[in-house]
A and B are shown apart, each in its own frame.
Chain A
Amino acid sequence: MEFALQQFLTGLSIASILLLVALGLSIIYGSMGVINLAHGEFVMLGAYSAWALQTYVGISLLPSLVLIFVIVATLGWVVERGVIRYLYQRPLDTILATWGIGVMLQQIVRLAVGGELRYVQMPDSLSHSVSILGADTPAYRIFIFLMAAALFAATWYLMNRTTIGMKLRAVVQDRNIAACFGINADRIYGLTFAYGAGLAGLAGAPVSPLKSVSPELGTGYVVDAFMVVVLGGVQSLFGTVASAFLLGELSGVIAFLQNDTVAKTIVLLAIVVLIRFRPQGLFVARVRA
């Protein structure tokens, strides 16, 4: 029983990392329809920002989160203004362009700070483990869970309860009509992309003390993020949460019963089968169109 709970919490922890990484993509891909292959590199830059702020400026991980969001979001905005906005009518070219940006970001980081693995210190206040109903859980993983939940709530609020969210939804439904009502679609898209990139940066920072920081950090995450978003249903935030939870628990349990190689295979297989019979994903956002 204790192990079942332990394993459930483990799955939850894997799920919250998946959700953190996928949330930004869910916004960019789900709302704007941009297939952003540089998403993993935004995650990577978040991790490197955490490292740089800690090593050179001396700000520890938790207080640096706000700064990291601002840094990566600014970069996202520059990328959108500089490249992506010219490609909204050419989705295939966007794939190529974002892929290229991703490769460049990787190499720029490598040239600037070198290829070796970097080290981000875990905050001391979170480096113990807590017992939940008898199951030992690292406090840091609980923190990641809370952070994912908070960011999800903030994103949901932003999309559904604020003016900018409403404008974005209007632009997504029909750009021209929205423009007729005086909405500056360009500006909305720029801000949305920046927000999505900032979220990716915020995902990279908290995972860095659990894993290692290297220029290739993002390449694995971009695949995971797309899996989560596509499985969840492209325009549905709740779908993203549900599929992150499902994939996290599934891969956690299979990894426990079998091993991680089998887990990876079965999870991918399950996604393929599901998408075959339910191409729209688990959830469909109800849109009047």
Chain B
Amino acid sequence: MGGIRRRDFLKGAAAIGGATAAGFPHIWIKDSSLARAADGEIRVGVLFSLTGTTAIIEESLNKATILAIEEINAAGGINGMKIVPIEEDPASDPATFAEKARKLVVGDKCVSVFGSYTSASRKAVLPVFEKRDNLYWYPTLYEGRECSKNVVYTGAVPNQQQDEFVPWLIKNFGPKFYLIGSNYIYPKEENNYCKKLLEKHGGEVVDEEYVPLGHSEFSSVINKFRSSEPNVIFSTVVGDSVVALHRQYRAAGLDPAKMPMASLTTSENEIAAMGGDAAAGHFTSAPYFMVHKSPENDKFVGAYQKRWGGDKVTHFVSEPSYFQVYLFKQAVEKLAASDITPPTIREAVKGESLIAPQGKVQIEKENLHTWLWPKIAQAKSDGQFEVLVDSKEWIAPVPYAAYPGQVCAEQGLQES
């Protein structure tokens, strides 16, 4: 030993620590904790994968988001300030999502970030937004069971997609359901809720099965469809597995009129990849379909195709990606230019509503989820849907619908 004596060293270190805490508190507390709009521009992050496995769909979410931002800027911005999008490519990898989110929030000081398709990526960025009290806008339908004051959820939760859908399927096709999904949290939570609804409406589960993500060999599964003879195949298979499942179902000669697939995940996007013939006759429940008739939707589809190409489709995740930017705009409009921070935006967006392409939507102030208009539609061979059931009223989001006694409220998750 020698040189610095331990006791002196500790004293010195304490003194430096004390001076830091007392002398420059603003360094730690004020500037770095809060992102803030300044200099006549509002910086937002756009965090959708442009490479990797889910790039296929996330690219369209990026396009819808950018379209909305360009439209708002072209119309004069928000109270004269321009929205400046900072795009990052998280490469379909949850760890990269977290890293890029940190860069957008801490480095670029964005006041909000629009992003994510998979639940895995949302879960990965959540700590970043909660720690910095920033705001994440998540457009995808998802499994619910989450209650964060740092995420605005504009996609559907299970009760919004299934409450009407499951009884309708039982009534039209019969009570026997075969539940098939990809093997991760989203399909399992959706099926949890589906089983509750089946119990309530007199349906039954003939089999419940999960295939690995990216699975593409469904011949054994199709043999099981044949042997268990369900009335409805309730599908939460995602990604390119959806394509393989539909094509092999058709090649096997099964009949959608007798044993239709009822999906929460098959959109115009997947149908374009599988070919209309393979999709025709099957059903999907979602708040938005490209064929939906409304002036707002005509405008959205027209603008989207004009900007990104006439062969592009819009679907039930790209639509929320688009309208949530407008909700962001409405929230920021209510704020003074010096007071645009994530928490003030969050407070301002509570209860905010607008006419989206799907109909009038509203952010529920209790849980930051969205009131939506679920629809039931049947796929046709031209690659589009035909909407069969339009809900008569909008449906409230209940993120804990499958978990009685748990409620997501403004103060956080309440358990009784």
Contacts and interface: CB of A to CB of B under 8 A. Distances in A.
Interface residues of B, number: 37
B219 A212 contact: no
B211 A261 contact: yes
B305 to A, nearest CB: 15
B239 to A, nearest CB: 9
Interface of B: 50-51, 53, 55-56, 59, 183, 209-212, 214-217, 219-221, 223-224, 226-227, 240, 243-244, 247-248, 250-253, 269-270, 272-275
A7 B220 contact: yes
A116 B219 contact: no
A196 interface: no
B223 A260 contact: no
A107 B51 CA distance: 9
> Among the interface residues A17, A118, A141, A255, which one has the most CB atoms of the partner chain B within 10 A?
A255
Interface of A: 3, 6-7, 10, 13-14, 17, 107, 110, 115-119, 121-122, 127-129, 136, 138, 140-141, 209-212, 214, 216, 220, 251-253, 255-256, 259-261, 263-264
A122 B250 CA distance: 11
Contacts of A138: 248, 251-253
Given A14-B217, A116-B273, A211-B243, A128 B223 contact: no
- Identify the interface centre among A115, A127, A128: most chain B CB within 10 Å of its CB: A115
Contact of B210 (A119, A129, A141, A259): A259
B251 A14 contact: no
Contact of B275 (A6, A119, A129): A119
A107 B50 CA distance: 11
Given A136-B252, A138-B252, A214-B56, A117 B273 contact: yes
A161 B247 CA distance: 40
Nearest to B383: A119
Contacts of B269: 116
Given A256-B223, A261-B212, A116 B244 contact: no
Nearest to B242: A212
A212 B274 contact: yes
B270 to A, nearest CB: 8
B272 A119 contact: yes
The 9 A-B residue pairs whose C-beta atoms are closest, nearest first, are A117-B273, A255-B220, A129-B253, A212-B243, A138-B251, A212-B240, A211-B216, A10-B219, A115-B55
B216 A220 contact: yes
